[in-house]
Amino acid sequence: MTRLFGTDGVRGLANRTLTADLALRLGAAAAAVLAAEADPARAGGASTGSARPLAVVGRDPRVSGEMLEAALSAGLASQGVDVLLVGELPTPAVAHLTAQHGAALGAMISASHNAMPDNGIKFFAAGGHKLGDHIEDAIESALTDDPITGPTGDAIGRIRRAPSADALDGYVRHLLTSTPGRLDGLVVVVDCANGAASEAAPRAYREAGARVIEIHAAPDGYNINHECGSTHLGAVQAAVREHDADLGLAHDGDADRCLAVDADGNVVDGDQIMAILALAMRDAGELAEDTLVATVMSNLGLKVAMRAAGIEIAETKVGDRYVLERLRDGGYSLGGEQSGHLVLPGHATTGDGLLTGLRIMARMAETGRSLAELAGVMTVLPQILVNVPVDDKAAVAASGSVAEAVAQEEGALGATGRVLLRPSGTEQLVRVMVEAQDPALAREVAERLAGVVAAV
């Protein structure tokens, strides 16, 4: 049976894969599992006699979110959970409000950086934390095709809509208290991806002191992520040059990511942002154990730069959930991915693109240095990625010829390069990634290894 939950919630084509019926049943199942997690006395539908548990539900602006919000909320209320609808807000805002309101669970309706026709539902446990595999498995087990039944009378949950200003105000206040200094004098272009950041990001950056030029901040339900945001950086690069800005920031549809461009329009990716923030936090005494958490896909240049700065890197598998797990398990204070998904557990329970943007600008303001200067702490090594279609990913992983070829190429590259073979989590592909100082050499090695993989 195919697992319903992916690496970041349940996601698919809205009204085909992710239907209103599925959202209804997911709401009921999540209510049963997460309400019991928050209050074990409720397990098995038992009533504690106390107030009904609360769920905080937010969404991004895509048109299908209205339909899914209604269905998900009905499922939650059918199981005796009160629902607070907080409207169009970034994913990290929903996580923050889940904790702030003492809710038993939270839910964000968003497909992040995906195109408008897709949508998704991601849940948060009490405290605004992402779900572990065992909780997701429990929710899947609780799903049923049978008619949904639940309490009656005054035990049925109520659904109310929070004043949009109240929800946004609370989140922006939280961001400002998590920013170490004022941003006065900085000029920033922010690409809001016509998504959940469209109101929150310009407001937060302005209130922190920056002069803000916003683009793609007029969502209409259909234009989210369309040729804009963190997956299409051309617009923010052009706007930075046009307005002679100090930097540009680009968010994705639900604003849990942030990529940057410097004053010349050069891209500053998640690895470079992690390097900047790691040094800032080390200097401020905030970098726990002088350790940064990063995935195996982070550029080798990040490791070289951090080693030179006396900072350790704790490495994880690809996926923000693995970064979060390592942060929690090790008590670390900064982690992230090359995609611009950064987590600062002292201030947020999940990736927060707006917090990342504020922290980048705070470092610029504190040091008086340009973003290009700060990003220059690491040299990005050429990274070649080849996707190889295969019939059996497990056979490739077990292949002696593949292992031998990888070892041979790694030996030849030495300390100046790296090889990584990784099966895709969603497709019959093996991803061959090679880093080397010479891009031509990296491509030659990647193509040789791709040939060995394809022959298995």
Task: Flag whether 178 is marked binding.
Answer: no
Distances (CA, A) of 107 to 95, 110, 150, 243, 343: 8, 10, 20, 38, 19
What is the distance between the alpha carbons of residues 431 and 71, in angstroms, rounded to a whole number? 38
Note whether 190 and 213 are within 8 A (CB): yes
Q: Which of these is catalytic: 112, 198, 230, 298? A: 112
Task: Flag whether 184 is marked binding.
Answer: no
Task: Flag whether 146 is marked binding.
Answer: no
Dihedrals phi, psi of 47, to nearest 5 degrees = -95, 135
- Does the annotation count 110 as an active-site position? no
Alpha helices in 180-299 (DSSP H): 200-207, 234-243, 270-283
Which among 317, 313, 290, 291 is positioned nearest to 301, based on CA atoms? 313
What is the distance between the alpha carbons of residues 97 and 352, in angstroms, rounded to a whole number? 13
Note whether 350 and 361 are within 8 A (CB): no
Note whether 439 and 384 are within 8 A (CB): yes
DSSP designation for 24: H
What is the distance between the alpha carbons of residues 124 and 135, in angstroms, rounded to a whole number? 10
- Pair of tokens at residue 80: 């005796």
DSSP 3-state of 145? coil
Task: Flag whether 118 is marked binding.
Answer: no
What is the distance between the alpha carbons of residues 210 and 220, in angstroms, rounded to a whole number? 27
Length of the chain: 456
Compute CA 371 distance to the chain's CA centroid, rounded to the nearest angstrom: 23
**Helix or strand run (H / E) with residue 130:** strand 129-130
Angle at 297 (CA atoms; ends 397, 318), nearest 5 degrees: 70
Note whether 57 and 34 are within 8 A (CB): no
End-to-end CA distance of the chain: 27
Annotated binding site: 112, 252, 254, 256
Annotated binding site for Mg(2+): 112, 252, 254, 256
Question: Which residues are marked as active site?
Answer: 112
